[in-house]
């Protein structure tokens, strides 16, 4: 099924109802691989789809035009969820030209080793006339790959934004005014936290650049999820907020536990934080996926990490979460650690090491409890919570 999103601009992508893991990011609601076809004097296809969805793309194109009539392919991004079916598409349509960014050319060469594809490099500021419509190219390096670029169609005030402003959400609806706004922003937030948090400085620069260029945008069509036609400004403003990594009076306690002692400490720290007026989210790494934990951390002002000591180290699920979190480069958070131990008790030291490696502010050396915490030991955890809470609430 296709959808006309602007006059002679059609969504021809694929819906992936079944994907549940997107390179380590949990996608319980599936995803979409959006591709767009413009029918003008020249016919242009913007991006393709994952390899296994080639026939869906082809079927959609067939409903609008004979695929062989497509003149141009525009490759905004070379990651395989958008380019996996590129070789089959090129074999079939034999395009007159394939446009990509300078880094896109390198990525296409490295992925597909093409010999005779009619590749043409475009840079920021270059334009391509399709007849009545024009494509303006804007390189968006590291949003989120070096090759990424936007395509802007001024005649339609349409921004085809590649991975930016997307969500992993399989739905039969295509537009923001057709879906529940709370669900939409929840999916968009998770997408930002897991894909783009690391590139927040680049997002800030891009938003400033777009504002300076004065692009008149009334629709944003990303490569995943929902098309923003009612409120493109809503997602632009959210990206501005998220990329500043603005936080609020909220703490996230992330822990794993072996015999529930570290869990008891987590609950005591929670009490201390709440007593100081902090909103707290407890995330047990055993039952929460790393990508959901990261989503909660994005707007938190404090991060509290807990693990018992296992083999002179931390529990593996905490190492998983912290390796992932460190790569996403969170910033501007108070942090501390806690954990129970049997005889050596290195976990808190290791957790503090992660905090320091992430450049977060360690507010306390942490609390350790031997085996099962008694009332006095739990009181130390409550006091740690209160100390962090006072920092979060700006009381010290
Ligand atoms: Fe949706 Fe970076 O690929």
Q: Which residue's CA is the closest to the ligand 1 atom numbered 1?
A: 163
Can you say how many angstroms the Cα of residue 31 is from the centroid of all Cα atoms in its chain?
Answer: 13
Q: Distance between CA 392 and CA 396 in Å, rounded?
A: 9
Q: What mean pLDDT is predicted for residues 293-318?
A: 98
pLDDT at 274: 98
Which ligand 1 atom is the nearest neighbour of the CA of 223? 1
Atom of ligand 1 nearest to the CA of 224: 1
Query: What SS3 string covers the chain?
Result: CCEEEECCEEECCEEECCCCEECCEECCCCEEECCEEEECCCEEEECCCCHHHHHHHHHHHHCCCCHHHCCEEECCCCCHHHHCCHHHHHHHHCCCEEEECHHHHHHHHHHHCCCCCCEEECCCCCEEECCCCEEEEEECCCCCCCCCEEEEEHHHCEEECCCCCCCCCCCCCCEHHHCCHHHHHHHHHHHHHHHHHHHHHHHHHHHHHHHHHCCCCCEEECCCCCEECCCHHHHHHHHHHHHCCCCEEEEEEEECCCCCHHHHHHHHHHHHHHHCCCEEEEEECCCCCHHHHHHHHCCEEEEEEECCCECCECCHHHHHHHHHHHHHCCCCCEEEEEEEECCCCCHHHHHHHHHHHCCCEECCCCEEEECCCCHHHHHHHHHHHHHHHHHHCCCC
Indicate the pLDDT class of residue 214, thresholds 50, 70 and 90: very high
**pLDDT tens across 132-180, in order?**
999 999 999 999 999 999 999 999 999 999 999 999 999 999 999 999 9
User: Residue 115: is its pLDDT beyond 90?
Assistant: no
How far does the centroid of ligand 1 lie from the alpha carbon of residue 286, in Å?
28
Q: How confident is the model at residue 201 (pLDDT cuts 50, 70, 90)?
A: very high
What is the pLDDT, as a whole number, of residue 37?
98
Banded model confidence at residue 396, pLDDT cuts 50, 70, 90: confident
Distance 79 CA to ligand 1 centre (A): 5
Interval 23-62: pLDDT, tens: 999 999 999 999 999 999 999 999 999 999 999 999 999 9
Active site residue 23: yes
User: Which residue's CA is the nearest one to ligand 1's atom 2?
Assistant: 79
The whole-model pTM stands at 0.96
Band the pLDDT of 232: cuts 50, 70, 90.
Answer: very high
Q: In percent, how much of the chain has pLDDT > 90?
A: 99
Supply the pLDDT for residue 355. Answer: 98
Shortest-distance atom of ligand 1 to CA 163: 1
Q: What is the arithmetic mean of pLDDT over 220-236?
A: 97
Nearest CA to ligand 1 atom 3: 79
In angstroms, the first-to-last Cα distance of the chain is 58
């Amino acid at each position: 099924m296709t959808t006309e999103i602007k006059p002679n601009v059609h969504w021809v992508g694929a819906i992936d109802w079944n994907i549940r893991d997107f390179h380590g990011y949990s996608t319980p609601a599936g995803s979409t691989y959006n591709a767009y076809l413009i029918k003008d004097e020249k016919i242009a296809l913007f991006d393709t789809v994952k390899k296994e969805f080639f026939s869906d793309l082809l079927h959609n194109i067939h409903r609008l035009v004979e695929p062989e009539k497509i003149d141009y392919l525009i490759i905004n991004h070379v990651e395989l969820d958008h380019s996996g079916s590129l070789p089959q598409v090129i074999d079939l349509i034999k395009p007159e030209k394939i446009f990509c960014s300078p880094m896109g050319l390198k990525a296409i060469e490295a992925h597909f080793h093409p010999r005779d594809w009619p590749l043409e490099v475009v840079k920021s500021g270059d334009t391509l006339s399709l007849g009545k419509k024009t494509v303006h190219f804007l390189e968006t390096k590291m949003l989120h790959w070096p090759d990424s670029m936007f395509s802007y169609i001024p005649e339609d005030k349409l921004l085809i934004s590649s991975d930016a402003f997307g969500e992993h959400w399989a739905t039969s609806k295509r537009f923001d005014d057709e879906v529940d706004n709370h669900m939409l922003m929840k999916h968009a937030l998770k997408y930002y936290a897991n894909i783009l948090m690391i590139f927040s400085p680049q997002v800030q620069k891009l938003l400033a650049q777009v504002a300076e260029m004065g692009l008149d945008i009334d629709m944003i069509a990303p490569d995943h999820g929902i098309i923003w036609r009612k409120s493109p400004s809503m997602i632009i403003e959210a990206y501005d907020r998220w990329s500043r990594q603005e936080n609020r009076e909220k703490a996230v306690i992330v822990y794993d536990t072996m015999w529930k002692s570290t869990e008891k400490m987590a609950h005591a720290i929670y009490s201390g934080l709440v007593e100081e007026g902090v909103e707290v989210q407890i995330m047990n790494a055993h039952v929460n996926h790393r990508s959901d934990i990261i989503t909660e951390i994005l707007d938190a002002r404090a991060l509290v990490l807990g693990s018992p000591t296992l083999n002179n180290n931390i529990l593996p699920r905490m190492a998983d979460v912290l390796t992932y979190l460190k790569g996403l480069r969170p910033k501007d958070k108070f942090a501390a650690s806690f954990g129970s131990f049997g005889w050596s008790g290195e976990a808190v030291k290791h957790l503090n090491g992660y905090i320091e490696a992430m450049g977060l502010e360690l507010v306390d050396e942490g609390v350790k409890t031997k085996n099962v915490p008694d009332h006095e030991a739990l009181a130390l955890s409550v006091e740690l919570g209160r100390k962090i809470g006072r920092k979060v609430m700006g009381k010290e």
